[in-house]
């Protein structure tokens, strides 16, 4: 979603702002802008659409100065037009603000400011902050911002500059991530570390309630009562290469092909083959606590929710603990049964999804212990959970999640193994499962070698208007995920169903125009799935079957076959999801979609 960048130092801020905004493009946005102190005035350039349009505006009317802020906006209040793009200026032009989040009492604040004579020039909630800071300004920008924050309700990551208190950027965080980048004689502000990684690896993550005053060679973090808040300097430990395309046509393709390595990284140092268990240092759960878990709730959104469904089945199968999977957006408004013996597992690639974060806070408030399975190091969920397992999949830039999904399932498998071995799983079964996990990276390489077969299938179906994805047992969530991948990036309508449910409704859709993707490896429910394939074939549907063996029972039923290796039933969705990702990718590319930045989507959904 929206991105914030700030620069203060000896050099021209504009190239840093534009580069930072470009690095955050993957997050999804529909307009962009910068504000720079030019020695004469605070000047703003903004444009609707992509950053290239902002660059064109800067060529037409150049800006230069050593203090600046920039923003990519994903529209909430008002359409994605130039007038609604950030930064927003105060009425007298002395204050510029960029803001992520939502000001919930903006209507009341706007009315009060209008009564004082302020005229509004945009439809945004953010503009109230600019006027409010102007109204409250009395010589110190941080004091004016703090006083404005006292009146604001809602969520924000914000950055403010002023021509009346010039050599600083004031930032504040509540519910929307922000970090300070500490450079040599220059300081950065960003909502995403990738925006500043090219210039510094030293970062200070702000917490909710923090206000930061950033100057050229120093910064301070205080709270709303101006009390100092000591914050540590962390080091970003991934390379610039991780956020660059490295020769691939799209980030999504690169991330699909990275999966042998990312899965290996998720398991590195954690899988203990001889004991058939896993070592997970960060979970902060004692032997007794693991034994005393009565029930588990896994909460997440989107793709992370799909991985949770697989986790549910693995934990129930091996650790024999009841598990419920909840959409985070629903969980937070229910009256869930949570006790001190409930473990709430929180799945999130970004660690910033607003609903997931709120669900975790709600589970904590009700007394559950929380365990975050998160990819982004230092993200809010990772910092607020009681214990965690990092995915170590590296930055995921493609909006459609791929490598994070397979790493999530692997992380859930590791946790299941640990939990199950503490309870009733035998060493022998534990070892078998651990060995199957260890074999996955090599097996994914084998699946990736079939990319050209999948590309050819994509060519056949690139004009389809609908798709059905069917699977049973552990592969039902894989069917949901395959359908989500396709609709996200190709805009083809796709549904995932448990294969046997098809005859309770979706079967009405089957005709010669309907491609049906079956996930039918040779597992415990294989024969059942074959019957469902027959039902589709009998109605002239087109079948694309992902399977793991030459099966006589499939003869004559398969229009297009994709072969994957065999593994434990529980891990099959990991192998099956790779061809599903590739199928969605190639279809989307052939349809001319913007694969890495699909329309309307954002990488991390930081609004409710």
Q: How far is the CB of 303 from ligand AGP (least distance, A)?
A: 3
CA distance 108 to 119: 14
Catalytic residue, from 168, 403, 418, 603: name it.
603
Contacts of ligand AGP in 476-495 (CB under 6 A): 488
Binding ligand AGP (rule: CB under 6 A), the pick from 100, 191, 200, 349 is 349
Number of Cα atoms under 13 Å in the Cβ half of residue 286: 4
Q: Looking at beta carbons, which residue is closest to ligand AGP?
A: 302
603 is catalytic: yes
Catalytic residue, from 2, 110, 344, 485: name it.
2
Contact characters 380-419, ligand AGP, x per CB under 6 A: -------------------xxx------------------
Q: CB atoms < 10 A from the CB of 272, how many?
A: 16
For residue 387, what are the β-bridge partners? Answer: 371
Which tokens belong to 455?
């590309």
Question: Should residue 551 be labelled a site residue for ligand AGP when binding is judged by CB under 6 A?
Answer: no
Question: Given the complex with ligand AGP, which of 152 and 301 has the nearer CB atom?
Answer: 301
Burial 539-572 (b: 16+ CB within 10 A, else e): eebbbbbbbbeebeebeebbebbbbbbbbbbbbb
Q: How far is the CB of 393 from ligand AGP (least distance, A)?
A: 11
Question: Given the complex with ligand AGP, which of 382 and 529 has the nearer CB atom?
Answer: 382
Question: Given the complex with ligand AGP, which of 18 and 359 has the nearer CB atom?
Answer: 359
For 322-465, strand residue ranges (E) read: 323-327, 342-348, 369-374, 387-390
Could you tell me whether strands 542-547 and 234-235 are parallel, antiparallel, or unpaired per DSSP bridges?
unpaired
Q: How far is the CB of 603 from ligand AGP (least distance, A)?
A: 7
Segment lying near ligand AGP (by CB under 6 A), choices 43-51, 168-176, 194-202, 346-354: 346-354
Question: Given the complex with ligand AGP, which of 481 and 523 has the nearer CB atom?
Answer: 481
Contacts of ligand AGP in 282-311 (CB under 6 A): 301-304
Question: Should residue 548 be labelled a site residue for ligand AGP when binding is judged by CB under 6 A?
Answer: no
The values of phi and psi at residue 60, to 5°, are: -65, -35
Q: How far is the CB of 490 from ligand AGP (least distance, A)?
A: 13
Q: How far is the CB of 598 from ligand AGP (least distance, A)?
A: 8
CA distance 101 to 116: 25
Contact 416, 315 (CB under 8 A): yes
How many residues sit in the footprint of ligand AGP (CB under 6 A)? 16
Question: Should residue 353 be labelled a site residue for ligand AGP when binding is judged by CB under 6 A?
Answer: yes
Binding ligand AGP (rule: CB under 6 A), the pick from 176, 342, 348, 577 is 348
Contact 344, 297 (CB under 8 A): yes
H or E element at residue 531 = helix 526-537
CA 390 to chain centre: 14
CA distance 208 to 202: 20
Question: Should residue 604 be labelled a site residue for ligand AGP when binding is judged by CB under 6 A?
Answer: yes
Question: Given the complex with ligand AGP, which of 101 and 302 has the nearer CB atom?
Answer: 302
Question: Given the complex with ligand AGP, which of 480 and 554 has the nearer CB atom?
Answer: 480
Task: List the one residue out of 60, 43, 44 whose CA is nearest residue 52.
Answer: 60
Contact characters 458-477, ligand AGP, x per CB under 6 A: --------------------
Question: Should residue 326 be labelled a site residue for ligand AGP when binding is judged by CB under 6 A?
Answer: no
Question: Should residue 342 be labelled a site residue for ligand AGP when binding is judged by CB under 6 A?
Answer: no
Show Cβ contacts of residue 451 under 8 Å, excluding neighbours closer than 6 positions. Answer: 582
Q: How far is the CB of 415 from ligand AGP (least distance, A)?
A: 17
Question: Given the complex with ligand AGP, which of 403 and 421 has the nearer CB atom?
Answer: 403
Question: Given the complex with ligand AGP, which of 357 and 468 has the nearer CB atom?
Answer: 357
Question: Given the complex with ligand AGP, which of 31 and 329 has the nearer CB atom?
Answer: 329
Show Cβ contacts of residue 100 under 8 Å, excluding neighbours closer than 6 positions. Answer: 1, 2, 3, 4, 156, 157, 158, 176, 191, 606
Q: How far is the CB of 586 from ligand AGP (least distance, A)?
A: 16
**Could you tell me what percentage of the chain is helix, strand and coil, using 3-state DSSP and rounding each to the nearest 5?**
40, 20, 40
Q: How far is the CB of 179 from ligand AGP (least distance, A)?
A: 17
Q: How far is the CB of 400 from ligand AGP (least distance, A)?
A: 4
Distances in Å between the Cα of 57 and the Cα atoms of 48, 53, 183, 580 are 10, 6, 29, 41
CA distance 263 to 444: 9
Measured on CA atoms in the order 361, 366, 369, 371, is the torsion positive or negative?
A: negative
Kindly list the catalytic residues.
Answer: 2, 603
| Residues at the contact surface with ligand AGP, assessed by CB under 6 A | 301-304, 348-350, 353, 356, 399-401, 488, 601, 604-605
């Amino acid at each position: 979603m929206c991105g914030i960048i700030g620069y203060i130092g000896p050099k021209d801020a504009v190239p840093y702002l534009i580069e930072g905004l470009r690095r955050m493009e993957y997050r999804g946005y529909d307009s962009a802008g910068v504000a720079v102190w030019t020695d004469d005035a605070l000047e703003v350039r903004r444009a609707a659409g992509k950053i290239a349009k902002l660059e064109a505006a800067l060529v037409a009317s150049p800006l230069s100065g050593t203090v600046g802020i920039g923003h990519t906006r994903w529209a909430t209040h008002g359409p994605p037009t130039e007038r609604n793009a950030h930064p927003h200026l105060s009425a007298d032009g002395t204050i510029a603000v960029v803001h992520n989040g939502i000001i919930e009492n903006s209507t009341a604040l706007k009315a009060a400011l209008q009564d004082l004579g302020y005229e509004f020039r945009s439809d945004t909630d953010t503009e109230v902050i600019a006027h409010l800071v102007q109204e409250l300004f009395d010589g110190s920008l941080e004091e004016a911002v703090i006083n404005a924050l006292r009146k604001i309700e809602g969520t924000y990551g914000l950055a403010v500059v002023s021509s009346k208190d010039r050599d600083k950027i004031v930032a504040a965080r509540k519910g929307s991530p922000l970090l300070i980048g500490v450079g040599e004689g220059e300081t950065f502000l960003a909502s995403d570390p990738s925006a500043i990684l090219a210039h510094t690896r030293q970062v200070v993550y702000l917490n909710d309630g923090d206000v930061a005053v950033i100057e050229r060679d120093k910064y301070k973090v205080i709270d709303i009562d101006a009390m100092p808040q000591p914050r540590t300097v962390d080091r970003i430990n991934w390379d610039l290469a991780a956020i660059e395309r490295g020769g691939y046509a799209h980030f999504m393709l690169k991330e699909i092909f990275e999966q042998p390595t990312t899965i290996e990284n998720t398991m590195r140092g954690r899988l203990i083959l001889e004991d058939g268990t896993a070592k997970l240092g960060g979970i902060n759960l004692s032997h007794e606590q693991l034994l005393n878990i009565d029930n588990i709730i896994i909460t997440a959104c989107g793709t992370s929710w799909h991985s949770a469904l697989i986790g549910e089945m693995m934990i129930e199968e091996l650790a024999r603990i009841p598990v419920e999977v909840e959409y985070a957006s629903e969980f937070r408004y229910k009256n869930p049964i949570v006790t001190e013996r409930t473990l709430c597992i929180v799945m999130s690639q970004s660690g910033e999804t607003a609903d997931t974060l709120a669900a975790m806070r709600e589970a904590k408030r009700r007394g559950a212990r929380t365990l975050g399975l998160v990819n982004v190091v230092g993200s809010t969920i990772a910092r607020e959970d009681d214990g965690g397992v990092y995915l170590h999949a590296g930055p995921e830039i493609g909006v459609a999640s791929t490598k994070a999904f397979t790493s999530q399932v692997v992380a859930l498998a590791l946790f299941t193994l640990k939990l199950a071995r503490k309870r009733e799983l035998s060493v022998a079964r534990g070892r078998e499962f651990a060995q199957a996990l260890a074999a996955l990276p090599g097996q994914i390489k084998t699946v990736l070698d079939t990319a050209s077969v999948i590309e050819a299938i994509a060519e056949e179906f690139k004009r389809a208007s609908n798709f059905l994805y069917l699977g049973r047992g552990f592969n039902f969530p894989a069917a949901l995920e395959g359908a989500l991948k396709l609709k996200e990036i190709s805009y083809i309508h796709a549904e995932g169903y448990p294969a046997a449910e098809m005859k309770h409704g979706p079967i009405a859709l089957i005709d010669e125009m309907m491609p049906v993707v079956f996930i039918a490896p040779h597992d415990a429910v294989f024969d059942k799935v074959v019957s469902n394939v027959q039902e589709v074939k009998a109605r002239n549907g087109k079948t694309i079957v992902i399977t793991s063996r030459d099966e006589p029972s499939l003869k004559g039923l398969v229009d297009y076959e994709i072969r994957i290796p065999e593994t434990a039933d529980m891990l099959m969705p990991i192998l099956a999801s790779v061809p599903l990702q590739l199928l969605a990718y190639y279809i989307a590319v052939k349809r001319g979609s913007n694969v890495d930045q699909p329309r309307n989507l954002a990488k991390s959904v930081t609004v409710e």
